Each structure stands twice: as C-alpha cells, then as structure tokens.
Amino acid sequence: MAKLLKKPLKLALVQLASGSDKAANLARARTKVLEATSNGANLVVLPECFNSPYGTKYFPKYAETLLPSPPTKEQSPSFHALSELAKESKAYLVGGSIPEYWEETKKYYNTSLTFDPQGRLLATHRKVHLFDIDIPGKITFKESEVLSPGNKVTLVDLPEYGKIAIAICYDVRFPELAMIAARKGAFLLLYPGAFNLTTGKMHWELQARARAVDNQVYVGMCSPARDMQADYNAWGHSMVVDPNAEVLDELGEEEGIVYGELKGERIEEVRKGIPIYTQRRWDVYPDVSEGKVKLEE
Ligand SMILES: NC(=O)CCC(=O)C(=O)O
C-alpha cells in the first residue's frame, strides 16, 4: 500500500480569539498564523467563522462573495488576506470558514478556503450538514434559517505530503463523510468547528476520537477561543488526535496554538496492529460498499 503521508508534517491549529471587527480578526489571524509557522508548522488551520461572530443574524452581514473565482478584494477581503498569508508564511493554510454569499443563486454558505504556500486556492468546502439542533433549555440553533448546504466531500492534495480532507464542525457528526475521505486516501481529517458549552462537553472529544478510530487517520478539530461576552460561547479545546484515537495535544478555552507532529509510520503501525482496513466484510454490508468508496491501492 502506498504511503498515505509521504513525509512528517507539523500541523498547527490556531484557537483564535475573534470578535466583531473583521479587519481586526484578519490581523489577529495573521499574527497567530505567522507565530505557528515560525514554530515550524507546515499546515495551519483557523477556526469556523474565524473573522466574524458565529450566529445566523451575523452571516448576511459578514458574508463575502467568492464566485466567480478569484473574487476582487472588495468582494472578499478574507480570500485575499488568506492567500497573502499563506504566501507570506510559506505554509498550507486552511482558512477556517467564512460566511459566503453567492450572487447567482442569492444563497449563503458556511465556506472553508484552503491555500497552498504560493497563495493559490486549492480547495473550497461548503459545510454539508447544517447545524440545526434543539436541546430544550440548553441550545437551539438553526443554520438552515439562513444557510444552504454544500454537497461534496472535500479532499485536498498537498503534493509533498498526501491528501487531507476538510469539513466543517457539525459535519464531524456524520461518519460517512469521514469514511469516504479516508477510503480515498486522506491521512488527516480537519474540522474547523465551533461547538458550544452544551454539546462541546458532551461530544467534542468523542467525535474527534471516533472519526480517528473509525478510520485510523489523524484528526484535527480547531475551535475559536471562548468568549463569554459573545452571543455564542465556543467550547474551545482545539485538539490533535492520532490514528489510534489518542489525543496528542489539546488547548483549554483561551486563545492559543496546538501542534501535532504527524507521521506516516504511525498510521501504518496502527493499521498493522488492528487491521480493520483489510478485514471489512463488504459482502455483509454491500449498501455501504456500493457508496463507491474503494480502498486506494
Ligand atoms: N457550528 C457547529 O456546527 C456546531 C456543531 C455543534 O455544536 C455540535 O454539537 O455538533
């Protein structure tokens, strides 16, 4: 089997403290991304809605136009700031997510942009599963009041390293997305996300570790820092999980950067020890195998 991760990669997840001032958020993101790369990171990730408050009433106000691509600076200051930052830091950059407005359809999306170290756009992921939940007395949230869903699995090839998959927050709860990405050869599943104080406590770590153990790949979950003055209080606890579902490192609630040294040998070791990759019984669950998720050679 070809190596999933061709050489070691240093991953950095920036748990950004952001507020209502978009320009200030972009400037803060730049400072923290440059800090991460000055510490040797090759791939840096920002949180969901890293340059705006998180909430349905904020999406239209902060939305930027990304299509046709590339947008102008007026249409999307964040696109240009991220592209320039990837170039400046000479690293791959997963720009968390931003609210997107698509003129042609008049629809809004929660969208993640990934850039290469030359500042070129590599991938766009629109959140596939919208965060619509209702836990009485705790939290009710309905992204679908404003947003439309994306409709694809997003795999990104980093030529020197291998493939990664990008999805956004609530997407992590859907193992199918992760499974397809892993079967197509991703060594790392990345989720810019913003769980809250109710579901964060219940499921943030569980979901990260579950996707790792299901697929025997690395997982990175990148949250905003917690702000108790904001309408929505993010859980924090950005973390890197290894292919054996062990938490390699984790932050608390405050702003910070969590790092992970990712190695191909670790994936191979875990898969050799517990070889679920060669033990699947597609004959017993053909409905899943028919999902066209053949294991890569
Ligand atoms: N921003 C989100 O998608 C939140 C997801 C979340 O909190 C969850 O429990 O899932």
Q: Which tokens hold the place of 2?
A: 């070809």
- The answer to whether position 141 is within a domain reads yes
C-alpha to C-alpha distance for 151 and 146, rounded to whole angstroms: 16
- The answer to whether position 285 is within a domain reads no
Per-residue pLDDT at 290: 57
ipTM above 0.90, yes or no: yes
pLDDT in tens, the chain (297 residues): 579 999 999 999 999 999 999 999 999 999 999 999 999 999 999 999 999 999 999 999 999 999 999 999 999 999 999 999 999 999 999 999 999 999 999 999 999 999 999 999 999 999 999 999 999 999 999 999 999 999 999 999 999 999 999 999 999 999 999 999 999 999 999 999 999 999 999 999 999 999 999 999 999 999 999 999 999 999 999 999 999 999 999 999 999 999 999 999 999 999 999 999 999 998 888 777 655 554 443
Per-residue pLDDT at 297: 34
Supply the residues annotated as catalytic: 48, 127, 169
Per-residue pLDDT at 286: 79
d(CA 236, ligand 1 centre) in Å: 12
- The answer to whether position 179 is within a domain reads yes
d(CA 203, ligand 1 centre) in Å: 9
- The answer to whether position 91 is within a domain reads yes
CATH number of the domain bearing residue 236: 3.60.110.10
- The answer to whether position 4 is within a domain reads no
- Beta partners for residue 258, in sequence order: 13
The parent domain of residue 54 ranges over: 9-276
- The answer to whether position 291 is within a domain reads no
Q: Which tokens hold the place of 155?
A: 């795999």
- The answer to whether position 109 is within a domain reads yes
d(CA 225, ligand 1 centre) in Å: 15
C-alpha to C-alpha distance for 123 and 33, rounded to whole angstroms: 19
- The answer to whether position 219 is within a domain reads yes
Is any ligand 1 atom within 6 A of the Cβ of residue 62? no
Phi, psi of 131 (to 5 degrees): -80, 90
Is any ligand 1 atom within 6 A of the Cβ of residue 205? no
Q: Which tokens hold the place of 290?
A: 């028919």
Q: Are 110 and 61 in contact (CB under 8 A)?
A: no
Q: Which tokens hold the place of 145?
A: 């009041």
Helical (H) or strand (E) element with 113: strand 107-115
Per-residue pLDDT at 224: 98
CA nearest 33: which of 74, 70, 83? 83
Q: How many domains does the chain have?
A: 1
- Residue where the block lists tokens 């290469």: 116
β-strand pairing of 139-142 with 186-192? unpaired
Is any ligand 1 atom within 6 A of the Cβ of residue 173? yes
Per-residue pLDDT at 231: 96
Per-residue pLDDT at 292: 53
Q: Are 110 and 99 in contact (CB under 8 A)?
A: yes
